[in-house]
Amino acid sequence: MTDWLARDLQHLWHPFTQHDEWATEPRLCIERAEGVELIDTDGKRYLDAVSSLWCNVHGHRHPKIDAAIQEQLGRVAHTTLLGLTHPPAIELAERLCALVNLDRVFFSDSGSSAVEVALKIVFQAQQQRGQVQRTRFAALAEAYHGDTIGSVSVGGIDLFHGVYRPMLFDAVRIPCPDRPDPEAEARCLSQAERIFREHGDTLAGFIFEPLVQGAAGMRMHSPAFLAALCTLARDAGALLVADEVATGFGRTGTMFAMDHVGVKADVVCVAKGITGGYLPLAATLTTEAIFGHFRGPYTAWKTLFHGHTYTANPLACAAALASLDIFQHEEVLAGLPPKVEALRNGLLLLQHRCVVERRQRGLMAAVRIGPFPADARMSHRLALACRDEGVIVRSLGDAVVLMPPLAMSPAQIRTCTAAIGNALTRLVPY
């Protein structure tokens, strides 16, 4: 039998991974998947409780998405969007605009790229409408918007970004609470008012992860808090950029997190779940008014000089269209409340003395444990221990994170939360 793990150690460089640790800990090689389960090379099954890094929506090998990709393969697998177009991109752009209530779509291939495009659009639009002093961005404290240079610049997690600081542009940091506590949010809003007064006339845009800061360990805030921040930013003349890469496509209980907030952003970034978790695709959506600032004769040099080889890849667009059909025809959002409740109840049953906090918005959740020293790597050890329970979760800081596919049943969700409790009890007996 092929020794995949040995070959992995020889050649692969894994993301966000310290390889001295990877080489000495139990490793897992996934060979196939069915529904909400991943299956390793030994045939063992695991519930995919992090949606294959927050992107799988309707389960693996969904017959409708499989069929859509196979049908598109019979036409064309890829053709450029530079100087050409194709039906799947056109139809998907129409449907995304209707969903988000915006007018124009720029396709790319990852969440980081979608944010990078958004930053360039906002900056250039401000310049081309005569607001040349608006050269900076405001972003939330502990933000995460991806790993390209622009998206890292508006990010705020030093563990991920600190080493690159000399390469980055400065962002104006807006305080944000760890949880939707009214007193903490009031304090943050008071500070935000002062910050927007001081820096507002230099801001091109305000970028934010609506309601849930996922990579920061599921830090959360209320819709009212975010709506107030959006008002402050708009009053200062900044354009609003909603990064829905992690929160979009049903994760918070509505199609997009901004649906809870009641505010229309000027620019919206989507990725991850856009294809149902099948293929890399991302989109940056904006208004016709912003698009208008890029129109004119070629020699006016107002063009957005940005693009990707696989922009609007037809296979990815076909998968995305099939995923949207599933949302509509299988009434996915209407079926979420009992799943959200199952996750809430499962979290409440975690009564271990080391559980210090539970965080949840829709099907996005985290369990914080402690207190442990950083070198104990306890949340990482807990995530590994959950595999013995047949569940895949991910550690972030002092937390383990759950974001099950929307297709996961309430019973399977309860199995996932119980696995955390069982694994924690094995690691740290009562």
Q: What are 267-296's pLDDT values in tens digits?
A: 999 999 999 999 999 999 999 999 999 999
Give the pLDDT band (50/70/90) at residue 161.
confident
How is domain 66-329 classified at the architecture level of CATH?
3-Layer(aba) Sandwich (3.40)
Work out the average pLDDT over 258-263: 98
- Percent of the chain exceeding pLDDT 90 equals 98
Residue 149's pLDDT is 96
Residue 430's pLDDT is 74
Task: Confirm or reject CATH 3.90.1150.10 for domain 4-57+333-427, answering yes or no.
Answer: yes
Q: Give the span between the Cα atoms of 256 and 397, in whole angstroms.
A: 26
Give the pLDDT band (50/70/90) at residue 2.
confident
pLDDT at 1 over 60: no
Give the pLDDT band (50/70/90) at residue 159.
confident
Work out the average pLDDT over 240-253: 98
SS (H, E, C) the chain: CCCHHHHHHHHCCCCCCCHHHHCCCCCCCEEEEEECEEEECCCCEEEECCHHHHCCCCCECCHHHHHHHHHHHCCCCCCCCCCCCCHHHHHHHHHHHHHHCCCEEEEECCHHHHHHHHHHHHHHHHHHCCCCCCCEEEEECCCCCCCCHHHHHCCCCHHHHHHHHHHCCCCEEECCCCCCCHHHHHHHHHHHHHHHHHHHHHEEEEEECCCEECCCCCEECCHHHHHHHHHHHHHCCCEEEEECCCCCCCCCCCCCCHHHHCCCCCEEEECHHHHCCCCCCEEEEECHHHHHCCCCCHHHCCCCCCCCCCCCCHHHHHHHHHHHHHHHHCCCHHHCHHHHHHHHHHHHCCCCCCEEEEEEECCEEEEEECCCCHHHCHHHHHHHHHHCCCEECEEECCEEEECCCCCCCHHHHHHHHHHHHHHHHHHCCC
Work out the average pLDDT over 15-22: 95
Q: What are 336-376's pLDDT values in tens digits?
A: 999 999 999 999 999 999 999 999 999 999 999 999 999 99
Residue 108's pLDDT is 98
In the chain, CATH 3.90.1150.10 covers 4-57+333-427
User: Peptide bond preceding 371: is omega within 30 degrees of 0, i.e. cis?
Assistant: yes
Work out the average pLDDT over 146-159: 95
- Percent of the chain exceeding pLDDT 70 equals 100
pLDDT at 7 over 70: yes
Residue 264's pLDDT is 98
Q: What are 64-123's pLDDT values in tens digits?
A: 999 999 999 999 999 999 999 999 999 999 999 999 999 999 999 999 999 999 999 999
In the chain, CATH 3.40.640.10 covers 66-329
Q: What is the mean pLDDT of the chain?
A: 97
Work out the average pLDDT over 260-264: 98
The whole-model pTM stands at 0.97
